[in-house]
Amino acid sequence: MIAHLIEEAWEGDFAAAVRGVLPLLEGSYAILALCADTDEVVAARERSPLVLGLGDDEFFACSDATPPLSHIPGIFWSWKTGDLAVIRRGSVAVENGGETVVRETTYIDYDVEASRKGGFEHFMLKEIFEQPDVFQQSFRLACKHHGISMLLSRARGISVIACGTSYNAALLFRYFVEKECGVPVRVDLASEYRYLSTPGDEIVIAVSQSGETADTLSALKKAASSNCATIAITNVQGGSSITRAADDTIYTGGAGPEISVAATKSYMGQYAAFVGLLAGMSCSDMSAVERSVRQAIEESLLTDVNEAVSLCVGASTLFYVGRGIFYPVALEGALKMKEISYIHAEGYAAGEIKHGPPFALLSKDTPAVAVCLPGDGYQSMLGNLREMKARGTPLIGIGYGDDIDLQDVADVCIPVPPKGTHMRRWLR
Protein backbone atom coordinates (compact mmCIF):
# COMPACT_ATOMS: atom_id res chain seq x y z
CA MET A 1 0.00 0.00 0.00
CA ILE A 2 2.77 2.43 0.96
CA ALA A 3 4.63 1.62 -2.25
CA HIS A 4 1.52 2.43 -4.29
CA LEU A 5 1.00 5.70 -2.44
CA ILE A 6 4.63 6.67 -3.11
CA GLU A 7 4.19 5.84 -6.78
CA GLU A 8 1.11 8.05 -6.98
CA ALA A 9 2.92 10.92 -5.25
CA TRP A 10 5.98 10.61 -7.51
CA GLU A 11 6.79 13.74 -9.49
CA GLY A 12 10.45 13.06 -10.17
CA ASP A 13 11.80 13.55 -6.62
CA PHE A 14 11.80 10.27 -4.67
CA ALA A 15 12.44 11.72 -1.19
CA ALA A 16 9.71 14.31 -1.77
CA ALA A 17 7.26 11.55 -2.77
CA VAL A 18 7.94 9.60 0.47
CA ARG A 19 7.74 12.80 2.50
CA GLY A 20 4.35 13.55 0.96
CA VAL A 21 2.98 10.10 1.78
CA LEU A 22 3.96 9.92 5.47
CA PRO A 23 1.16 12.21 6.73
CA LEU A 24 -1.32 9.82 5.13
CA LEU A 25 -0.15 6.85 7.19
CA GLU A 26 -1.91 5.92 10.39
CA GLY A 27 -0.56 3.82 13.25
CA SER A 28 3.02 2.88 14.01
CA TYR A 29 5.55 1.98 11.35
CA ALA A 30 9.22 1.88 10.44
CA ILE A 31 9.86 1.97 6.70
CA LEU A 32 12.76 1.97 4.32
CA ALA A 33 11.67 3.09 0.86
CA LEU A 34 13.88 2.19 -2.10
CA CYS A 35 13.55 3.43 -5.66
CA ALA A 36 14.73 1.33 -8.61
CA ASP A 37 15.71 4.47 -10.56
CA THR A 38 17.76 6.30 -7.95
CA ASP A 39 20.46 5.38 -5.45
CA GLU A 40 18.45 6.55 -2.47
CA VAL A 41 16.92 4.86 0.54
CA VAL A 42 14.45 6.95 2.50
CA ALA A 43 13.95 5.88 6.13
CA ALA A 44 11.16 7.01 8.42
CA ARG A 45 9.59 5.78 11.63
CA GLU A 46 6.60 6.50 13.82
CA ARG A 47 6.51 4.76 17.22
CA SER A 48 8.31 1.66 15.89
CA PRO A 49 11.98 0.92 16.40
CA LEU A 50 14.46 1.95 13.73
CA VAL A 51 18.14 2.66 14.27
CA LEU A 52 20.70 3.96 11.83
CA GLY A 53 24.24 2.66 12.20
CA LEU A 54 27.00 4.85 10.82
CA GLY A 55 30.04 3.16 9.30
CA ASP A 56 32.83 4.38 7.03
CA ASP A 57 30.99 4.98 3.82
CA GLU A 58 28.18 2.61 4.75
CA PHE A 59 24.93 2.84 6.69
CA PHE A 60 22.72 0.22 8.28
CA ALA A 61 19.06 0.82 9.00
CA CYS A 62 17.59 -1.86 11.29
CA SER A 63 14.96 -2.34 13.95
CA ASP A 64 17.67 -3.23 16.48
CA ALA A 65 21.31 -2.23 16.95
CA THR A 66 22.61 -5.80 17.19
CA PRO A 67 22.93 -6.92 13.53
CA PRO A 68 25.09 -4.07 12.22
CA LEU A 69 27.50 -4.21 15.13
CA SER A 70 29.68 -6.85 13.49
CA HIS A 71 30.20 -4.42 10.59
CA ILE A 72 30.48 -0.97 12.14
CA PRO A 73 32.15 0.47 15.24
CA GLY A 74 28.98 0.98 17.24
CA ILE A 75 28.03 4.53 16.33
CA PHE A 76 24.34 5.15 16.01
CA TRP A 77 22.32 8.13 15.20
CA SER A 78 19.64 9.10 17.75
CA TRP A 79 16.41 9.09 15.86
CA LYS A 80 13.60 11.42 16.87
CA THR A 81 9.93 10.99 16.04
CA GLY A 82 9.15 12.71 12.76
CA ASP A 83 12.71 12.37 11.46
CA LEU A 84 13.15 11.31 7.89
CA ALA A 85 16.56 10.24 6.61
CA VAL A 86 17.63 10.25 2.98
CA ILE A 87 20.50 7.80 2.62
CA ARG A 88 22.64 8.13 -0.49
CA ARG A 89 26.04 6.69 -1.41
CA GLY A 90 28.45 8.11 1.16
CA SER A 91 26.02 10.51 2.82
CA VAL A 92 22.94 10.70 4.97
CA ALA A 93 20.73 13.76 5.33
CA VAL A 94 18.18 14.08 8.11
CA GLU A 95 15.14 16.31 8.10
CA ASN A 96 12.22 16.88 10.40
CA GLY A 97 9.14 18.88 9.47
CA GLY A 98 10.79 19.90 6.20
CA GLU A 99 13.89 21.38 7.94
CA THR A 100 17.35 19.83 7.69
CA VAL A 101 18.53 18.83 11.18
CA VAL A 102 21.71 17.46 12.75
CA ARG A 103 21.25 14.63 15.20
CA GLU A 104 23.57 13.51 17.95
CA THR A 105 25.30 10.19 17.59
CA THR A 106 25.38 7.56 20.34
CA TYR A 107 28.17 5.07 20.83
CA ILE A 108 27.05 1.57 21.79
CA ASP A 109 29.75 -0.36 23.55
CA TYR A 110 28.92 -3.92 22.71
CA ASP A 111 30.73 -7.20 22.67
CA VAL A 112 29.97 -8.76 19.27
CA GLU A 113 30.93 -12.19 20.65
CA ALA A 114 27.88 -11.92 22.88
CA SER A 115 25.59 -12.27 19.87
CA ARG A 116 27.20 -15.57 18.85
CA LYS A 117 26.33 -18.96 20.28
CA GLY A 118 29.70 -19.42 21.97
CA GLY A 119 29.81 -23.22 21.61
CA PHE A 120 26.23 -23.82 22.81
CA GLU A 121 23.81 -25.70 20.61
CA HIS A 122 21.37 -22.81 20.56
CA PHE A 123 20.93 -19.34 21.98
CA MET A 124 18.45 -20.23 24.70
CA LEU A 125 20.85 -22.71 26.22
CA LYS A 126 23.68 -20.20 26.05
CA GLU A 127 21.51 -17.55 27.68
CA ILE A 128 20.35 -19.88 30.45
CA PHE A 129 24.00 -20.51 31.30
CA GLU A 130 24.77 -16.79 31.34
CA GLN A 131 22.46 -16.27 34.30
CA PRO A 132 25.09 -16.27 37.07
CA ASP A 133 26.85 -13.34 35.34
CA VAL A 134 23.60 -11.63 34.52
CA PHE A 135 22.47 -11.80 38.13
CA GLN A 136 25.73 -10.43 39.49
CA GLN A 137 26.09 -7.60 37.01
CA SER A 138 22.44 -6.56 37.11
CA PHE A 139 22.43 -6.59 40.89
CA ARG A 140 25.55 -4.40 41.01
CA LEU A 141 24.14 -1.96 38.46
CA ALA A 142 20.87 -1.61 40.35
CA CYS A 143 22.66 -1.12 43.69
CA LYS A 144 24.37 1.93 42.17
CA HIS A 145 21.00 3.61 41.69
CA HIS A 146 20.78 4.63 45.29
CA GLY A 147 18.90 7.82 44.39
CA ILE A 148 16.14 5.84 42.68
CA SER A 149 15.90 3.45 45.65
CA MET A 150 15.47 6.41 48.00
CA LEU A 151 12.80 7.89 45.75
CA LEU A 152 10.94 4.58 45.67
CA SER A 153 11.13 4.10 49.43
CA ARG A 154 9.49 7.50 49.97
CA ALA A 155 6.87 7.05 47.23
CA ARG A 156 3.15 7.12 48.03
CA GLY A 157 2.75 4.32 45.53
CA ILE A 158 4.70 2.48 42.86
CA SER A 159 3.21 1.15 39.63
CA VAL A 160 5.03 -1.39 37.53
CA ILE A 161 4.00 -1.98 33.92
CA ALA A 162 5.29 -4.75 31.71
CA CYS A 163 4.37 -7.62 29.38
CA GLY A 164 5.03 -11.35 29.40
CA THR A 165 8.06 -12.46 31.36
CA SER A 166 8.84 -8.89 32.40
CA TYR A 167 5.39 -8.74 34.01
CA ASN A 168 6.07 -11.91 35.97
CA ALA A 169 9.38 -10.47 37.21
CA ALA A 170 7.54 -7.30 38.24
CA LEU A 171 5.09 -9.32 40.34
CA LEU A 172 8.03 -10.51 42.44
CA PHE A 173 8.96 -6.91 43.17
CA ARG A 174 5.49 -6.32 44.57
CA TYR A 175 5.83 -9.12 47.10
CA PHE A 176 9.32 -7.97 48.09
CA VAL A 177 8.53 -4.28 48.49
CA GLU A 178 5.19 -4.59 50.22
CA LYS A 179 6.64 -7.00 52.73
CA GLU A 180 9.95 -5.28 53.29
CA CYS A 181 9.13 -1.57 52.92
CA GLY A 182 5.36 -1.23 53.21
CA VAL A 183 5.11 0.86 50.04
CA PRO A 184 2.04 -0.17 48.02
CA VAL A 185 2.95 -1.58 44.62
CA ARG A 186 0.54 -2.03 41.74
CA VAL A 187 1.58 -4.27 38.85
CA ASP A 188 -0.30 -3.95 35.57
CA LEU A 189 -0.06 -5.61 32.21
CA ALA A 190 1.09 -2.80 29.93
CA SER A 191 -1.55 -3.67 27.36
CA GLU A 192 -4.29 -3.13 29.99
CA TYR A 193 -2.83 0.04 31.45
CA ARG A 194 -4.58 2.25 28.91
CA TYR A 195 -7.96 1.17 30.31
CA LEU A 196 -7.03 1.94 33.92
CA SER A 197 -6.73 5.14 35.91
CA THR A 198 -3.27 6.60 36.47
CA PRO A 199 -2.78 8.37 39.79
CA GLY A 200 -0.47 11.27 39.01
CA ASP A 201 1.60 11.06 42.18
CA GLU A 202 3.05 7.62 41.59
CA ILE A 203 6.40 6.40 40.42
CA VAL A 204 5.95 4.21 37.39
CA ILE A 205 8.51 1.57 36.46
CA ALA A 206 8.35 0.15 32.94
CA VAL A 207 10.10 -3.20 32.59
CA SER A 208 11.11 -4.41 29.15
CA GLN A 209 13.98 -6.62 28.06
CA SER A 210 13.99 -5.20 24.55
CA GLY A 211 13.09 -1.63 25.47
CA GLU A 212 10.86 -1.60 22.41
CA THR A 213 7.63 -3.41 23.31
CA ALA A 214 4.92 -1.14 21.93
CA ASP A 215 2.37 -1.82 24.69
CA THR A 216 4.92 -1.03 27.41
CA LEU A 217 6.05 2.09 25.58
CA SER A 218 2.55 3.48 25.19
CA ALA A 219 1.72 2.69 28.83
CA LEU A 220 4.90 4.51 29.88
CA LYS A 221 3.95 7.52 27.79
CA LYS A 222 0.51 7.54 29.37
CA ALA A 223 2.13 7.55 32.83
CA ALA A 224 4.49 10.36 31.83
CA SER A 225 1.65 12.46 30.46
CA SER A 226 -0.15 12.01 33.82
CA ASN A 227 2.90 13.58 35.51
CA CYS A 228 4.19 10.36 37.04
CA ALA A 229 7.94 10.04 37.54
CA THR A 230 9.04 7.25 35.20
CA ILE A 231 11.85 4.71 35.40
CA ALA A 232 12.75 2.08 32.80
CA ILE A 233 14.35 -1.29 33.50
CA THR A 234 15.74 -2.66 30.27
CA ASN A 235 18.45 -4.89 28.90
CA VAL A 236 19.28 -2.71 25.89
CA GLN A 237 22.15 -0.30 26.35
CA GLY A 238 22.07 2.93 24.43
CA GLY A 239 18.85 4.48 23.37
CA SER A 240 15.91 2.10 23.17
CA SER A 241 12.51 3.77 22.72
CA ILE A 242 11.54 3.01 26.34
CA THR A 243 14.78 4.48 27.68
CA ARG A 244 14.21 7.63 25.68
CA ALA A 245 10.67 7.98 27.01
CA ALA A 246 11.57 7.42 30.70
CA ASP A 247 13.07 9.92 33.15
CA ASP A 248 15.73 7.42 34.21
CA THR A 249 16.90 3.94 33.25
CA ILE A 250 18.31 0.99 35.13
CA TYR A 251 20.10 -1.40 32.82
CA THR A 252 20.09 -5.10 33.46
CA GLY A 253 23.68 -5.99 32.80
CA GLY A 254 25.57 -9.00 31.65
CA ALA A 255 26.50 -10.82 28.50
CA GLY A 256 24.71 -8.64 25.96
CA PRO A 257 21.33 -8.91 24.34
CA GLU A 258 18.92 -11.80 24.58
CA ILE A 259 18.66 -13.30 21.11
CA SER A 260 16.30 -16.14 22.04
CA VAL A 261 12.70 -14.89 21.91
CA ALA A 262 11.60 -16.69 25.06
CA ALA A 263 13.16 -14.68 27.87
CA THR A 264 15.43 -16.56 30.27
CA LYS A 265 18.44 -14.53 31.33
CA SER A 266 16.51 -11.28 31.08
CA TYR A 267 14.08 -12.57 33.75
CA MET A 268 17.09 -13.18 35.96
CA GLY A 269 18.43 -9.70 35.17
CA GLN A 270 15.12 -8.09 36.03
CA TYR A 271 14.88 -10.07 39.26
CA ALA A 272 18.41 -8.96 40.15
CA ALA A 273 17.59 -5.33 39.36
CA PHE A 274 14.56 -5.50 41.65
CA VAL A 275 16.56 -7.11 44.47
CA GLY A 276 19.25 -4.43 44.02
CA LEU A 277 16.64 -1.67 44.27
CA LEU A 278 15.11 -3.34 47.28
CA ALA A 279 18.51 -3.45 48.99
CA GLY A 280 18.68 0.35 48.67
CA MET A 281 15.03 0.85 49.66
CA SER A 282 15.30 -1.18 52.83
CA CYS A 283 18.86 0.02 53.59
CA SER A 284 19.86 -3.64 53.88
CA ASP A 285 23.40 -4.84 53.67
CA MET A 286 23.11 -7.32 50.88
CA SER A 287 26.81 -7.77 50.20
CA ALA A 288 26.52 -11.48 50.97
CA VAL A 289 23.54 -11.85 48.64
CA GLU A 290 25.48 -11.24 45.45
CA ARG A 291 27.97 -14.03 46.01
CA SER A 292 25.58 -16.57 47.48
CA VAL A 293 22.91 -16.12 44.81
CA ARG A 294 25.47 -16.38 42.04
CA GLN A 295 26.70 -19.61 43.52
CA ALA A 296 23.15 -20.90 43.97
CA ILE A 297 22.36 -20.20 40.31
CA GLU A 298 25.53 -21.97 39.21
CA GLU A 299 24.60 -25.01 41.29
CA SER A 300 21.01 -25.00 40.03
CA LEU A 301 22.24 -25.08 36.45
CA LEU A 302 24.01 -28.35 37.20
CA THR A 303 20.92 -30.01 38.71
CA ASP A 304 19.80 -33.16 36.94
CA VAL A 305 16.14 -32.70 36.01
CA ASN A 306 15.77 -35.73 33.74
CA GLU A 307 13.51 -37.61 36.13
CA ALA A 308 11.19 -34.62 36.35
CA VAL A 309 11.22 -34.26 32.57
CA SER A 310 10.21 -37.90 32.05
CA LEU A 311 7.20 -37.30 34.30
CA CYS A 312 6.03 -34.56 31.92
CA VAL A 313 6.64 -36.29 28.60
CA GLY A 314 3.36 -36.87 26.77
CA ALA A 315 1.35 -34.48 28.96
CA SER A 316 -0.92 -32.09 27.13
CA THR A 317 -1.40 -29.79 30.14
CA LEU A 318 0.80 -28.98 33.11
CA PHE A 319 0.08 -27.01 36.25
CA TYR A 320 2.61 -24.79 38.01
CA VAL A 321 1.73 -23.81 41.56
CA GLY A 322 3.23 -21.69 44.30
CA ARG A 323 2.30 -19.39 47.16
CA GLY A 324 3.65 -15.93 48.03
CA ILE A 325 6.75 -15.06 46.02
CA PHE A 326 6.56 -18.47 44.39
CA TYR A 327 3.24 -17.67 42.78
CA PRO A 328 4.87 -15.32 40.21
CA VAL A 329 7.59 -17.96 39.81
CA ALA A 330 4.86 -20.51 38.97
CA LEU A 331 3.39 -18.07 36.43
CA GLU A 332 6.77 -17.71 34.75
CA GLY A 333 7.31 -21.49 34.78
CA ALA A 334 3.99 -22.02 33.00
CA LEU A 335 4.70 -19.23 30.51
CA LYS A 336 8.10 -20.73 29.72
CA MET A 337 6.62 -24.20 29.21
CA LYS A 338 4.06 -22.79 26.78
CA GLU A 339 6.48 -20.53 24.90
CA ILE A 340 9.16 -23.13 24.46
CA SER A 341 7.30 -26.42 24.02
CA TYR A 342 3.83 -25.24 22.93
CA ILE A 343 2.42 -27.55 25.61
CA HIS A 344 -0.42 -25.90 27.47
CA ALA A 345 0.43 -24.95 31.05
CA GLU A 346 -1.37 -23.02 33.79
CA GLY A 347 0.32 -21.02 36.53
CA TYR A 348 -1.79 -21.02 39.70
CA ALA A 349 -1.65 -19.52 43.15
CA ALA A 350 -1.79 -22.76 45.12
CA GLY A 351 -4.61 -21.44 47.32
CA GLU A 352 -6.74 -20.90 44.21
CA ILE A 353 -6.66 -24.53 43.16
CA LYS A 354 -9.71 -25.33 45.22
CA HIS A 355 -11.59 -22.24 44.02
CA GLY A 356 -11.17 -22.71 40.31
CA PRO A 357 -11.52 -25.67 37.99
CA PRO A 358 -8.15 -27.39 38.64
CA PHE A 359 -9.59 -29.97 41.00
CA ALA A 360 -11.88 -31.13 38.23
CA LEU A 361 -9.08 -31.02 35.69
CA LEU A 362 -6.29 -32.67 37.67
CA SER A 363 -5.59 -36.29 36.87
CA LYS A 364 -2.70 -38.69 36.35
CA ASP A 365 -2.27 -37.03 32.91
CA THR A 366 -1.75 -33.51 34.25
CA PRO A 367 1.62 -33.26 35.97
CA ALA A 368 2.12 -30.36 38.37
CA VAL A 369 5.28 -28.49 39.28
CA ALA A 370 5.17 -27.04 42.79
CA VAL A 371 7.60 -24.56 44.29
CA CYS A 372 7.55 -25.32 47.99
CA LEU A 373 10.12 -23.93 50.43
CA PRO A 374 9.82 -23.62 54.21
CA GLY A 375 8.50 -20.24 55.32
CA ASP A 376 5.22 -18.36 55.00
CA GLY A 377 2.49 -20.63 53.63
CA TYR A 378 4.65 -23.75 53.63
CA GLN A 379 2.22 -25.95 55.58
CA SER A 380 -0.72 -24.76 53.46
CA MET A 381 1.33 -25.53 50.37
CA LEU A 382 1.98 -29.08 51.56
CA GLY A 383 -1.76 -29.40 52.19
CA ASN A 384 -2.47 -28.26 48.60
CA LEU A 385 0.00 -30.78 47.28
CA ARG A 386 -1.63 -33.61 49.21
CA GLU A 387 -5.00 -32.61 47.74
CA MET A 388 -3.53 -32.66 44.27
CA LYS A 389 -1.87 -35.98 44.93
CA ALA A 390 -5.24 -37.44 45.94
CA ARG A 391 -6.36 -36.78 42.36
CA GLY A 392 -3.51 -38.83 40.97
CA THR A 393 -1.50 -35.81 39.75
CA PRO A 394 2.18 -36.63 39.19
CA LEU A 395 3.97 -34.07 41.36
CA ILE A 396 7.34 -32.43 40.85
CA GLY A 397 8.41 -30.58 43.98
CA ILE A 398 11.00 -27.83 43.86
CA GLY A 399 12.38 -27.31 47.35
CA TYR A 400 15.23 -28.02 49.73
CA GLY A 401 16.98 -31.34 49.22
CA ASP A 402 16.54 -32.34 52.88
CA ASP A 403 12.80 -31.60 53.02
CA ILE A 404 11.33 -34.96 54.03
CA ASP A 405 7.72 -33.71 53.98
CA LEU A 406 8.06 -32.53 50.40
CA GLN A 407 9.77 -35.77 49.40
CA ASP A 408 6.91 -37.64 50.98
CA VAL A 409 4.24 -36.02 48.83
CA ALA A 410 6.13 -35.33 45.57
CA ASP A 411 6.95 -38.03 43.01
CA VAL A 412 10.16 -36.26 42.06
CA CYS A 413 12.03 -33.51 43.92
CA ILE A 414 14.27 -30.94 42.28
CA PRO A 415 16.52 -29.64 45.04
CA VAL A 416 17.34 -25.94 45.19
CA PRO A 417 20.73 -25.09 46.67
CA PRO A 418 20.54 -24.14 50.34
CA LYS A 419 22.80 -21.17 49.54
CA GLY A 420 19.81 -19.53 47.92
CA THR A 421 18.56 -18.88 51.42
CA HIS A 422 18.84 -15.12 51.01
CA MET A 423 15.20 -15.53 50.06
CA ARG A 424 14.36 -16.80 53.50
CA ARG A 425 13.89 -13.26 54.79
CA TRP A 426 10.94 -12.89 52.42
CA LEU A 427 9.61 -16.33 53.17
CA ARG A 428 9.07 -15.70 56.84
Q: Is 264 in the site for ligand BG6 (CB under 6 A)?
A: no
From the list 2, 54, 262, 286, which residue makes contact with ligand BG6 (rule: CB under 6 A)? 262
From the list 261, 283, 340, 390, which residue makes contact with ligand BG6 (rule: CB under 6 A)? 261
From the list 137, 149, 153, 209, which residue makes contact with ligand BG6 (rule: CB under 6 A)? 209
Q: What's the burial of 258, exposed, middle or buried (CB within 10 Å: 0-12/13-18/19+)?
A: buried
385-393 long-range contacts, CB within 8 A, separation 24+: 385/350, 385/409, 385/410, 387/353, 387/354, 387/359, 388/319, 388/321, 388/353, 388/358, 388/362, 391/359, 391/362, 391/363, 392/362, 392/363, 392/364, 393/319, 393/362, 393/363, 393/364, 393/366, 393/367, 393/368
Q: Is 216 in the site for ligand BG6 (CB under 6 A)?
A: yes
Q: How far is the CB of 270 from ligand BG6 (least distance, A)?
A: 8
Give me the phi and psi of 402, to 5 degrees please: -100, 20
Q: Is 54 in the site for ligand BG6 (CB under 6 A)?
A: no
Q: Is 328 in the site for ligand BG6 (CB under 6 A)?
A: no
Cα 330 to Cα 320: distance, rounded to the nearest angstrom: 5
Q: Is 259 in the site for ligand BG6 (CB under 6 A)?
A: no
Cα 313 to Cα 307: distance, rounded to the nearest angstrom: 10
Q: Is 237 in the site for ligand BG6 (CB under 6 A)?
A: no
The DSSP symbol for 274 reads: H
Closer residue to ligand BG6 (CB): 275 or 395: 275
Q: Is 208 in the site for ligand BG6 (CB under 6 A)?
A: yes
Q: Please, what is the angle between helix 146-153 and helix 265-281, to 10°?
A: 70
Q: Is 112 in the site for ligand BG6 (CB under 6 A)?
A: no
Q: How far is the CB of 14 from ligand BG6 (least distance, A)?
A: 35
Q: Is 340 in the site for ligand BG6 (CB under 6 A)?
A: no
Q: Which of residues 135-194 bind ligand BG6 (CB under 6 A)?
A: 163-166
Stretch that binds ligand BG6, among 123-131, 208-216, 378-386, 388-396 (CB under 6 A): 208-216
Q: Is 218 in the site for ligand BG6 (CB under 6 A)?
A: no
C-alpha distances (whole Å) from 13 to each of 16, 89, 98, 135 are 5, 17, 14, 53
Binding-site size for ligand BG6 (CB under 6 A) equals: 12
Which spans of this chain sit near ligand BG6 (rule: CB under 6 A)?
Answer: 163-166, 208-210, 213, 216, 261-263
